[in-house]
Structure 1
Amino acid sequence: MRFLFRPPAAEATGLLSLPWDRPLAEWDPALLLEVPQRGISRHVVRFVATGGRVFALKEINERLARHEYALLGQFEEEGLPTVSVLGICVDRPDDQEAILVTRYLEYSMSYRWLFSTPRAEHSAEQLLDTMVELLVRLHLAGIFWGDCSLSNTLFRPDAGALAAYLVDAETAERHPSLSARLRAYDVDLARERVGAELLDLQFGGLLPESIDPIDVAAGLPARYDALWEEVTAEQVFGVDEQQWRITERLRRLNDLGFDVGEVELITSPEGARLRVETRVAEPGQHRRELLRLTGLEVQERQARRLRGDIVAFRAHLEQKTGHPVSESFAAHRWLAEVYQPVVEAIPRELAGRLAPAEIFHEVLEHRWFLSEKARRDVGTPEATRSYVAHVLPQTPEEITTPSVRAELSET
């Protein structure tokens, strides 16, 4: 057998002792990890844990495995929202299929899990909007997915919203750019698959009665076209409007979570035409700024929420001291006095159910709810205690194997 791993290859050493010479379906359950958030796959997929990390193993045709391994590696290097690939195992005995190894996407959930949990707060429309945003990002990068579906997408909580990640790239194709015909074909495939998946949810009693699966899926192309137009359309306006129009367009793109590359402005006596190169690489503007200020690596919407709290904390410090406070100083104080106390208040038995930044966001939401109810500002410490006692325990555990939870929490 042959193993091929991407750096850091040290992660793979704990996997080498696994029985790669046997079909995944025959592996001893004691070696495997139960991941309740997993979706439905047409391939044999198993999960294992080693070195404080969880990995997904998928048995697949070697040609497709090599293709997916190469593409996922490219996507990761470019910062696209996809799962992270570790390696492949090929030339297995008895002409067995190859095994593709990817890193488990922490705090992620399948669409079925989102609709079946006690905290099923996300609507079908929200899932579609999130998946459409992912599809637009891939198309901007010249990627034809060919198998866009809810099943091939993982969702992570992101400051009360969701962020979508591509999971399955075996049918994906890379092009310098995508024609309108290819994009339309990809969207039409997504519409068909999403309609079938929502019908499946309906048959399983997981979809609210008010939702018509066919109508919801039929609206997917319009959602896609609206977002594509928003991030790619050229604008025409008067020459005297150019400064505020450019600022408005760039701010709107950043608010949508897209980065901006080259900006082209062509002026003439009749007016000005603005063309903006939209980029899709992560991290986004808010993630970069938060990382610079605090060292925290979070998702884009989470970063936006945390930065907003830092701004409010900075204003509080300036009002309290009576003189200006630098952004970096305020961020340092906020991290030590506001953020860390919330994270440290999470009991060990509840750790890992949500990302720390998502917990902080939910504590802020809970604080607002309690303050409205009490008609006073209850404060973050009181809100944290109430959240830990009454809200967080309702969140399902991410990993159900106790030994793995303990290992991950200590890493």
Structure 2
Amino acid sequence: MLLPIGSQDDFGETVTNRNFVFETFRKVSTLRGYQEISTPVVEYANIFTNKHVGMSLQSLMKWFNSEGEIEVLRPDWTTAIARALTKHNKAPEKWAYQGSIFRNNKVGVESRQVGIEIINFPNFHGECECLLMARNFLDELTINHYVIELGHTGIFEYFINQLDLSDEEIKALQIAMHDKRKDKVYQLVARNGKEHIASELVVLIDAFGPFEEVLNDYEIRWGNYPVLLKIVNHIKKLAELLNESGKVPVIVDLGMVKKLPYYSGIIFRGLLEENGSTCFSGGRYDKLYDQFGENKNAVGLGFDVDILAKQLRIVNKPKRICVIASDETLSYAEKIRKDYADFIVEVFYDDEMIDKDNFQKVIYILQKDGEYEVIENEDMYRFN
């Protein structure tokens, strides 16, 4: 075995499409005023496994260093950037990143991401910027068939704060909500003598769909619950702005639960209509900075580059030209590239080595009596 399990080589179009995603992201984020940030690929494990972040050590690519500390390959950009911004100024900041993360609980241990982190902006402004930037970026990639899904961590937290559950039970309940296991949700909550809360959480599992329909229903249902009504109104305000700014459908899932402990408000993701894959996800994570003893409001999202790259259909590819040369005419072949600056130009010695169907034009360069002859589509042009 030449490669570890989970590692792979990539070739041709796969790599080209990924690079196109990276380049397009840099263009869009730069024009929207983001600064670039990069963090080391190697970090201390406890930055990611503490109670504020809650990542499992078993899921990380790890080893012991010479001092006995556990080091890992970067498993999460948001946490790494929060560490980097510790003791930073309190001014509003917008950061853009791109690169790989590494986890061994996925099919491939390495996955590529691009994303943004918005620090110390007014809450609604930052959340809107995240989602409008996502729409801008996907438009540039000509990826149009997706939906934006909105949720809020405060809904689930409102109900579990009324329960006496251990951390393990809360985690089991989150998994059951995520998997839409109504029986499991009811069982976990009702055994604590809270049947009415169990019923509310079971109903929440089906509280997803077009935002107008779902939110209008829950404005009525939660009319006597000021905390929940405030959350519904916040989601509605954000959904209406997105609806006004473009044609991409906006849906809500009021039963959505957070994947990591640091999320603390609006959460969202982009889902491809073709196969339901998550092409971006993110949300508010004000609590993340608690581990560094700081109080910042922050929101961000990350795009899955590998998923986006598979969706690309790059139609404006440069035309391809094949130049047939020899040892004697190779230097001249290099010179005439200037005549085809916007083309892909490949030089070969033997036309039998190429598939002519892959090229829009084949040019032959001959040398005779110190002069060059260029034969193109059976027309001959003489160059001195």
Q: Structure 2 length as normaliser, TM-score?
A: 0.24
Structure with bigger helix share is 1
Q: Which has the higher contact order (CA 8 A, sep 6+)?
A: 2
- Higher strand fraction: Structure 1 or Structure 2? 2
TM-score (norm 1): 0.23
The structure having more radius of gyration, on CA atoms, is 2
